[in-house]
Structure 1
Amino acid sequence: MPSPTWDPAQYLRHAGHRARPFTDLLARVPDLPTQPPAGPPRIVDLGCGPGNATTLLAARWPAAHITGYDNSPEMLDKAHVEHEGPTPGGGRLDFAHADVRTWAPSQPYDLIVSNATLQWVPGHVERFADWVAGLVPGGTFAFQVPGNFDSPSHVLMRELAHSARWKGRLADTLRHDDAVLAPQAYLEKLTGLGCAADVWETTYVHLLEGEDPVLDWVKGTGLRPVLTALDDEPEARQEFVAEYRAALREAYPAGRHGTPFPFRRIFAVARKEEA
């Protein structure tokens, strides 16, 4: 599956709802082993996107040196302009290009965190060993991923992409329902690496506003591969979106106060042994 082109403005249209799981993840991350005056903690955010969620790391650990990595030039441009530089607590926030599929720590880190990114990385659990090895003793690896690939928003998208009209262009474009593992599988993998692991899942019911809000949501994330694949055919792109919009309206009817959008997510916090 080729890398999609990202639109930071579209992604940030639902920034509040998207940040909620990251806030909940960070609430379960323990204190970092390196603390001033021993030196600034070192933190990595894998798949930082436009950097808005990365700033939550600086709020929690104001003296830390935090680096956000992403492979999208569009997302990194937004992050550089709006968030890079010294932080009020004496730390620093910077951003750089990296591919999560191949990134490996070049120095010891106190925290490696990833927010709604690993679902884009086939075989991502095979990277865990390198990342845990790159933690200082007592350091933490934490991530959250969507667990909603069997939800109508994704099922309908895949069914349409594999229909007779679209399969020639889109059959190999989208992720399947095995893009992430079950919570038990993550727990087994992380404990097998010698970590004390806390794994859980939560289903949020976001109340979305506006016309076709579920479509608006997925335009910023899950639908990006389709939009990228059809970017050179504007009429075909509009046709696909129109068919998908109709299916979403039926699957997610609007209520009196907005459109309920159930969204399951899987979380993991793994702490490396002290010695």
Structure 2
Amino acid sequence: MQQLIDIGVNLTDKQFDNDRKEVIERGIENGVVQMILTGASLKSSKQALEIAKNYPNTLFSTAGIHPHDAKTFTNHTMNELEKLAQHDEVIAIGECGLDFNRMFSPQDIQEKCFEAHLELARKLSMPLFLHERDAHERFCEIFAGFRDLAEKSVVHCFTGNVEQVKKYVSMGFYIGVTGWICDERRGQDLQNAVKFIPLDRLLIETDAPYLLPRNMENKPKNRRNEPAFLPHIVNEIAKYMGVEPEVVAKSATENTRKLFKLPEV
């Protein structure tokens, strides 16, 4: 079985409180040999690190503040994130970025928080785990001042169109693809866009517990996504890219280890 790495697992989510260990084990049984746990607030970043410490060389984490929570951002929280980033398990700054879809934090605060993360990643020479929804143009404008960071960054859970993916690829970003591609209602733009992601810029993820693949047979009754379902997403990506699933798996795994400097297992 080809090794897979899930670059985006929200394992601190309360939906996993009762069976977190089993979820990890099921992922490993299905070929997901490493997972990166998403830090989306100071609290969840600390929690993700603590979980990752229990699974050396298998689980890793990120440290950041999601744009939804940008209103909680202060100089103190950024200092705390910098301390977290000193741990070997923390391999990227983020989840950070812009989300103009639901505007849980004001735009100006989101932008200040985003730029603070970019400055921190530059200071620490670390990769970035990025979020962008309905904010493509402003996202690119802000990143224009940080172009040196693009080649060490992944636009996680990309759901945009052909034009947007071409722009991101031209800037040097890695692109993270989720089970959104399995959605016949909302995923059509992504199904077309993946054709324009070079294999050497592709990363794969579940974004569990969110985005359970809609076209998966025998869906769990709890409607919860988990790393064990990553092989299904790989098959869908391969179908729309016009390559074999093994090619997607091998490329994404090599890219992930290169970007985040993960050990081979």
Same fold (TM over 0.5): no
Q: Which has the higher strand share?
A: 1
Under TM normalisation by the shorter chain, which class is it? 0.3 to 0.5
Per the normalisation by structure 1, the TM-score is 0.35
Name the structure with the higher helix share. 2
> Which has the higher relative contact order, 1 or 2, with Cα contacts under 8 A spaced 6 or more apart?
1
